Amino acid sequence: MERKALYAGSFDPVTNGHLNIIERAAKMYDSLTVAIVINPNKTGFFTVEERAEIAREVTKHIPNVRVDTFSGLLADYVNENGFIASVRGLRATTDFENELQMAQMNAKLFTGATETVFLMTEPEYSFISSSLIKEVASLGGCVDDLVPPYVVSRIMEKLDK
């Protein structure tokens, strides 16, 4: 049986921190689905379609990664697709409380034996967040080492710089 894992998030846009988690998780499972969560209450910097296209482009070197989108409950998406793991990256202790709460809620909602699996972010990526990347880039700061080159070009295009 294929051992399928999920890495869900807003990915607005994918950063080097996300990519590091994706590359490591892809080695642990037969396949990894990077799923962009459609949140109708949140207007993104990139549209969901743009985020998915960017995620496909920057993960195309990893053969067992696919990119998808979903709306609604993560647990429903997991239950419908038979993922054995929902991967999350932990950057700092500040991530912990929220992640613990979501993992425990999801454990109640998963109908199968799906585990939430945490990977510790490597220290060089621990301060990165998509919001900070967008803020720094929009104010003229350099984000070259923090996101893949393709993402830099897409951010610049969006900012019309």
At position 76, the amino acid (one-letter code) is D
Please, which residue, 17 or 148, has the CB nearer to ligand COA?
17
At position 101, the amino acid (one-letter code) is Q
Please, which residue, 1 or 138, has the CB nearer to ligand COA?
138
User: Rounded to an integer, what distance in angstroms lies between the CA atom of residue 155 and that of residue 149?
Assistant: 10
* Position 128 contacts ligand COA (CB under 6 A): yes
Sign (positive/negative) of CA torsion 63, 29, 7, 136?
A: negative
Please, which residue, 125 or 150, has the CB nearer to ligand COA?
125
> What residues numbered 90-119 form the site for ligand COA, per CB under 6 A?
91, 102, 105-106
Question: Active site residue: 51, 86, 130, 134, which one?
Answer: 130
Residue 68: which of 114, 106, 37, 28 has the closest Cα? 37
- Answer yes or no: 91 catalytic: yes
- Residue 13, preceding peptide bond in cis (omega within 30° of 0): yes
Q: Read off the tokens for 126.
A: 């621990």
Smallest distance, ligand COA to C-beta of residue 61, A:
18
Q: Which of 125, 136, 150, 158 binds ligand COA (CB under 6 A)?
A: 125
* Position 138 contacts ligand COA (CB under 6 A): no
User: Rounded to an integer, what distance in angstroms lies between the CA atom of residue 49 and that of residue 63?
Assistant: 21
What is the set of active-site residues?
18, 42, 91, 130
